[in-house]
Structure 1
C-alpha cells in the first residue's frame, strides 16, 4: 500500500474515531500508570447532510392560507368538495340552516301538528256528543208523543191489546202503578163501552239529554161511551218523564201525569 493511500485511510479513521483516555488502574506504588486509547465509531448518517439540506430546500412549502384551522371550526375536507358533491347542502348563495336550527324547526312542526290533531279530536268529539244528544232528544220527543196517544186511545173492542201496548211502553213507577190498576181500567172500559181516539196537537221538550227527558204534550181526543154515544171532545195536557232503556234501545215512560 502506497504512503498516500495509507495516510488518507488514517485521516478518515481519525475523523470518525473518538479518543477516550482512561487512567491506569491503581497499581503498585511508584509505578507509572499506563494509558490506552479506546476507539468508538459515530453512527453514519443515512444520507449525506449536504444532500438532506438540499432536498429540504427544494421541497414546496404549503400556503398557510390554504390550511384549515380546526380551532376556528374549519372543515379540512370541504376545501376541494363542491356544493353538489356534499349531500344535504345548498347551492352557492343559499345559506344552509344549522343543525340546532333544523332541530328547532322540526320540534316546532311536530308541536303544531300535535296541537292540530288534539284540537281536531276535541272538536270532533264535541260535534259527536252534540249530534248524539240532539238525536236522543228528538227520539225522546217522538216517544212521548206516541205514549200520550196510546194512553188516551182505548176501546172496549180492543181493550186487552190497548192495555198491553201501554204497559210495553212503560217502566219504573208508572209501569208498576198501571200494572196494579189495569184490571180496574179494563173493567171500566168494557162496562162503559168506551171508545176513545186521540191525536197530538203540540209537544215540547222541557229538558233532556241522551238518557232522560221531560216532555209536555197537548192531546185532543174524541171519547164515546154509554152516556155520550155520539162522542164528545176532550183536551188533555200530559207531562211525561221518559228514560232511555239500554237493553232495548227504546224510550219508556217512567212517570205520567195530567197538568193544567
Structure 2
C-alpha cells in the first residue's frame, strides 16, 4: 500500500513539473511575441529617423557642392576682371609713355631719343619711323631744337584681345636755338597699341584735331 502511495505521489509530482514546464514555455512564447510586437511597432519610427538623417545629409552635401562651385566661379570672375584691368593699364601706360617719347626730343641727345621711340614701336609705325628717323635727327640738330611733352589726358577708346586704341592729349613746350621760348602747344594723338609678349608697343600714330 505504501508503495502504491509513493508511486502515486511521484506521478503527481511529475505531472506538476510537466505543467510548470508547459506554463513556463507558454510564458516565454508570450514574452517573445511581446518583444516582436514592440520591435514591429518601433520599426516605422526607426525608418523615419533614418530617412530624415539621409535627407539632412543629402541637403548638407548639396549645400557644400553649391558653395564650392560658387566660390570657384566668383574667384574665376575676379581673376578675369583683374586680367582685363591689368591689360588695360598696360596699354594706357605704354600709350602715355609713347606720346612723351614722341614729343620729348633734345637736339643734344637726339640719337638716343629717337632710339627710345623705336624701342617702343612695332609694325607699320616702326617701319615708317625708322626710315624717317635719320633726316629728322639732322633737322633737330641743325635747329638746336628741344621739346618737352607732358601728357594732360589719356583714355582707352577701344580694346580687343591683344590690341587697343588710346587717345592721348599732350602739351608740348618747344625751344629752338637762340629764339624765345614758345607757348606750349596742345596736341592730340590716336595711338594703336599691339601686345608683343609681355609688353605692348605702339603700332600706329595719328594726330587728330
* Residue of structure 2 equivalent to 1:57: 19
Q: CA RMSD in A?
A: 3.1
Aligned mate of 2:112, from 158, 161, 172: 161
Q: Greater helix share, 1 or 2?
A: 2
Structure showing greater relative contact order (alpha-carbon pairs closer than 8 Å, 6 or more residues apart): 2
* Residue of structure 1 equivalent to 2:7: none
Cα deviation, residue 193, structure 1 = 2.4
* Residue of structure 1 equivalent to 2:179: 229
- After TM superposition, the runs of 4+ consecutive aligned structure 1 residues lying more than 4 A away are 48-54, 68-73, 94-97
Kindly report which structure 2 residues correspond to 1:97-116, keeping only aligned pairs within 5 A, or say none. 98-116=49-67
CA distance, structure 2, for counterparts of residue 96 and residue 111 of structure 1: 22
CA distance, structure 2, for counterparts of residue 130 and residue 180 of structure 1: 40
* Residue of structure 2 equivalent to 1:175: 126
Q: Work out whether residues 156 and 194 of structure 1, in 8 Å CA contact, stay in contact via their aligned partners in 2.
A: yes
Count of residue pairs brought into register by the alignment:
193
Change (3 A) 1:70 1:242: farther
CA distance, structure 1, for counterparts of residue 38 and residue 166 of structure 2: 79
Cα deviation, residue 122, structure 1 = 0.6
Q: Work out whether residues 133 and 210 of structure 1, in 8 Å CA contact, stay in contact via their aligned partners in 2.
A: no
**Runs of 5+ consecutive residues of structure 2 not aligned to the other structure:** 1-9
Change (3 A) 1:182 1:54: same
* Residue of structure 2 equivalent to 1:67: 32
Q: Greater strand share, 1 or 2?
A: 2
Change (3 A) 1:102 1:108: same
**Larger displacement relative to structure 2 (114-123 or 50-59):** 50-59
**Runs of 5+ consecutive residues of structure 1 not aligned to the other structure:** 1-47, 79-93
CA distance, structure 1, for counterparts of residue 105 and residue 66 of structure 2: 60
Aligned mate of 1:146, from 79, 83, 97: 97
Change (3 A) 1:66 1:173: farther
Cα deviation, residue 127, structure 1 = 1.4
- Higher Rg of the two aligned structures: 1
**Larger displacement relative to structure 2 (195-204 or 57-66):** 57-66
| TM-score when normalising by structure 1 | 0.64
* Residue of structure 2 equivalent to 1:40: none
Cα deviation, residue 130, structure 1 = 1.2
Kindly report which structure 2 residues correspond to 1:73-152, keeping only aligned pairs within 5 A, or say none. 74=39, 98-152=49-103
| TM-score when normalising by structure 2 | 0.77
